[in-house]
Chains A and B, each alone.
Chain A
Amino acid sequence: MSAVHGYRKPLIRRDRTFEFLIPQYVDDLDLSHGTALYLEDISVNFDGFQAIKDLNFYVNTGELRCLIGPNGAGKTTLMDIVTGKTRPDTGSAWFGQRINLLRMDEAEIAQAGIGRKFQKPSVFENLSVFDNLELSMTGTRSVWGTFRAKMNRQTVERIEAMAETINLTDQLNRVAGLLSHGQKQWLEIGMLIMQNPILLLVDEPAAGMTHQEMDKTVELLRSLAGERAVVVVEHDMEFVRALQAPVTVLHQGSVLAEGTMDDIQNNSNVMRVYLGTESTT
């Protein structure tokens, strides 16, 4: 084990003899094998801290998946890798079969169809709710295109429909900075959906929400899955249970367990990590 360690990038891997033949970036997303996201053998080291270690993580198309784990388990780092914010030291990350995420920057990844909601609600505080949704809407992203962009009835209706979904219809012309914490969370989820992504990464959507809001969020996230793959990171176990989705537990940068919420709660490894007790077997 330790002999392999530090031997980060082997020159030749037997399963990757003809790696140069793999097309690195293809415009169209290919999901024909039913897997939206492949993360394989990912390792990230931040100045000696091993944030992610030999991680393998797959998400099927249309799947709703929960990602839990104690602080420092690597959940946010994992999202950073998928969205291009952090480059792993080793491993590969593919979106569908044909898009290599490690060769793309944040903007390209977002345009390819991966949306992200941050842990801390991050909306554009000095822009109105309407403008926030307008900027997130699918469509041109070029400098000239955004300069020439015109609103038509259809796009306005789309934004209004979204505002209704996220309960912000009466706030449309308010500056987003004036919204409550929960409303900002909703707005950010709305912005995410406006991007029409194929894979959504949602970091702690329930933080700062009341029970009713949480129930609505669960409903919304569940309705999104099916069409899109959704990965939810959440600390609130009640919320995770309500999502009724397969759960992946991360611990010290690797996958500790995978299964339904009941399996996870009875898993001795997970209990050890979460409760700090040695398993009694």
Chain B
Amino acid sequence: MSTATAGRPHAFDSGLTTPDFAACLAMGLQPLGLVQGYFVGQISSWSTYSGYPVRNYPCACYETGMHNTGWLGRVDDLDQAWMSAHGTALERMLKEAADLGAHGVVGVTTEMSHPTNANSCEVHLYGTAVLSVGGPAPQRLWSTQLAGHKLAKLVEIGYVPGSVAYARCTAMLVEGCNMEFYGSGRCGTGYIITPLQDAHELARSGAVDVARRMSPAMSMYGVDMEVHETEGTGATYITCSLRGSLVRRARSTLPVSPPVATVSLGS
């Protein structure tokens, strides 16, 4: 894929604020250019039907003769579509940075949306490619949402950045016989509605598991956790998505000196 960086003049451009720019220079990081990765894709309209059950809930109304068993499932196709879209956009951004001779990308921002309809996905990543002056080139370019002094603080407490990351899990709850009104198969007030609780839990724990499996040796901080609940035909979809930066602990954590409390004067 051709990159937008070919034929650029030597002057650099960046998305850094002025304080972040100054801090990067103080850290020995030289900004090379604003780099972007972009991906627009079509999500298969069959993906929402591709849920597979992980748990069944027996019919709750034995007397009426209705026997619509409810079940809870995962919709991996949908999640994979978004995660691979993010992965591709990230690779494209890192490719632009590598073409500039950078060692990493700081201040990465991610935008995700449906450009046309619910079956399309758009991922746009951008950040500032930087070169570590006098430092050896890493085996793989690193990327982080942080920049400036916050990045310096990260290293100060013993971490080095790995990569920006995106993880998600969609739980699909197919309702059985009036499951919404039946708590564990009983009718009345005060009964735990097990299927809904399970669906909420599956979406969240699934997303956290995906994030952990991405890189077991790394931790994900600054996670932006979003949960959406949508009603489909006969089914409820609960999606949990996590966006953050993976970091690796490079040495033992050392205590940080107690913060100084301040009162800010002025407007």
A and B assemble together: no
B interface, CB within 8 angstroms of A: none
